[in-house]
Structure 1
Amino acid sequence: MSFTGPSVGSGGAARRAFEFGRTYVVRPKGKHQATVVWLHGLGDNGSSWSQLLETLPLPNIKWICPTAPTQPISIFGGFPSTAWFDVGELSEDAPDDFEGLDASAAHVANLLSTEPADIKLGVGGFSMGAATALYSAISYVQGKYENGNPYPANLSAVVGLSGWLPCSKMLNKRIEGVDEAGRLAESLPVLLCHGKVDDVVLYKFGEKSSHALNSAGFRDVTFKSYDGLGHFTVPDEMDMVCSWLSSKLGLDGSS
């Protein structure tokens, strides 16, 4: 599926076309109660995470694992890689590629748009995927993307592993001007997990993201740190994800 970003002014840069890769779906083994879009990290694809998510004891969740577009990446000197948006550094200090973020958040919302009305919806991800999931949370709370288009999905849970929060410096300002945003931010559960020895996305960026969400009015933020964990995931962390999702999405575990 391709998504073209908004045009930049009248004489601005040409719009980028985003060609998303293959989407992998893990069907619920039990009664379908929730659907979660899960976003991979830089240079990865949806297949590897779909294989891990399939092993989790969450029979009521349908997982949708899309693959990011392949695009030139500044951090790699312009070398192409699968990525949800362009990035010069993996941190909250990097300039935000809003065109890429909007395209990926819209892709996530589009994947959720065909789910039945009684199914709870969530988005999660690892590293750059976590950043995109958090950006989706901001778009949901604001009711719109950065480009002004309305955000259509109704999110019930957001998970970010080893990631960071894009647009963190302007977050308060973005939420203050929207009537409904405060209420939505207050009630949206967010789980952030980060390894203390992550040498790719530093631990401090995960911690700062948690603080930024709190100060912007997100009241249900869980931040879990892991000693000795680098830029990868471990069973202990995935156990936390499982118990948190079961609790926040009200899953009954029925098969």
Structure 2
Amino acid sequence: MSFAGSSVVSGVKTARKAIEFGKTHVVRPKGRHQATVVWLHGLGDNGASWSQLLETLPLPNIKWICPTAPTRPIALFGGFPSTAWFDVEDLSEDGPDDLEGLDASAAHVAYLLSTEPSDIKLAVGGFSMGAATALYSATCHSLGKYGNGNPYPANLSAVVGLSGWLPCSKTLKSKMEEMKASNSGAGSLPVLLCHGKVDDVVLYKFGEKSSQALRSCGFQDVTFKSYNTLGHYTVPEEMDEVCAWLTSKLGL
């Protein structure tokens, strides 16, 4: 999947070359199709690995779309290329934000959701850097626009972030306050964050701080789940939590 930055993320400073997204894997619903979730993998991973796990979940009414991020030079790896939704120097909210990369990936998520039937509920979730991209999509939805000012088109009903962090958290509060006059949808968008207390890749404190930041910015339906012995991976207990939460919030 490839599209030029100018067509989907117009308003970006330069007419840069097209971003090449990797292969998208789709898990079809086994029952009646009620919801579609775009699920985003972590740094260096691909859509295939998550599609295999998601296919095993007891959620027969969900269609899962698992795209693969573009391969790009990563500052964290000294410029060595890896699959990544955006460039990153630090897997936390402390590093600089690659707004152009975040906007392009959030636009790709919206594009993948754009052809779903109008009566289907839409959601986005992810792990690690994928969780960061999902949370960034949540803020774009609530602000009604991407970081570059273009309108955000997808109508999200739920957002899930596992072992991740909230990009652009330092500037979000002021942006949300600016939006309050135009009735931001932040309050009603449910967000589930899960994080392991012994995560040595994206530290637990960044997950906790992200949940606090979302609440302080007007997100009223934020659930934060912590796991005492969990590192930077997922476990059945956590995925059971995700299943129960999605079933509840999406009315499955």
Is this a same-fold pair by TM over 0.5?
yes
Counting aligned pairs with the same residue, the percent is 77
Contact kept, 8 Å, 1:2 with 1:18, in 2: the verdict is yes
Aligned CA RMSD, in angstroms, stands at: 1.4
Aligned-partner Cα distance in 1 for 2:31–2:236: 22
Question: What residue in structure 2 maps to residue 250 of structure 1?
Answer: 251
**C-alpha distance in 2 between matches for 1:138 and 1:216:** 10
Superimposed CA distance per residue, residues 162-212 of structure 1 (whole angstroms, 9 cap, x where no aligned partner) = 000000011111111124765411100000000000000000000000000
State the Cα deviation string for residues 24-66 of structure 1 (Å, max 9, x = none). Answer: 0000000000000000000000000000000000000000000
Give the match for residue 47 of structure 1: 48
Q: Verify the 8 A CA contact 1:176 1:182 in the aligned structure 2.
A: no
Change in Cα spacing, 1:242 to 1:6, as seen in structure 2 (3 Å) is: same
Q: Which whole-Å deviations, capped at 9, do the CAs of 1:124-165 have from their partners, x for residues lacking one?
A: 000000000000000000110011111000000000000000
Alignment of 1:85-96 (within 5 A): 85-96=86-97
The answer to whether the 8 A contact 1:19-1:69 is kept is yes
Q: Does 1:186 align with 2:193?
A: no
Aligned to 2:59: 58
SS at match of 1:51: helix
Consecutive aligned runs of 4 or more in structure 1 exceeding 3 Å deviation: 5-9, 179-183
State how far apart, in whole Å, the 1-side matches of 2:163 and 2:229 are: 13
Are 2:10 and 2:150, in contact at CA under 8 Å, matched by a contact in 1?
no
Q: 2 CA distance for matches of 1:159 and 1:8? A: 27
- The whole-number CA distance in structure 1 between the counterparts of 2:109 and 2:204 is 26
Runs of 5+ unmatched residues, structure 1:
none
Measure, in 2, the Cα distance between the counterparts of 1:133 and 1:195. 18
SS at match of 1:129: helix
d(CA) in 2 for partners of 1:122, 1:187: 13
2:11–2:148 CA contact under 8 A, matched in 1: no
Structure 2 CA distance for partners of 1:180 and 1:66, relative to 1, 3 Å: farther
Query: Aligned partners of 1:205, 1:17: CA distance in 2, in Å?
Result: 32
Q: CA–CA distance in 2 between the matches of 1:201 and 1:180?
A: 35
SS at match of 2:185: helix
Conserved 8 A contact 2:196-2:228: yes
2:125 is equivalent to residue 124 of structure 1 = yes
> Does residue 103 of structure 1 match 2:99?
no
Match of 1:134 in 2: 135
Report the Cα distance in structure 2 between the residues aligned to 1:102 and 1:84, rounded to whole angstroms.
10
Residues 217-236 of structure 1: pairs in structure 2 closer than 5 A: 217-236=218-237
1:240 to 1:182, Cα distance in 2 relative to 1, 3 A: farther
Aligned to 2:36: 35
8 A contact 1:130–1:159 mirrored in 2: yes
| 1:7–1:14 CA contact under 8 A, matched in 2 | no
d(CA) in 2 for partners of 1:46, 1:99: 22
**Cα distance between partner residues in 1 of 2:237 and 2:4:** 37
Aligned position for 1:144: 145
Whole-angstrom distance in 2 between the partners of 1:109 and 1:221: 22
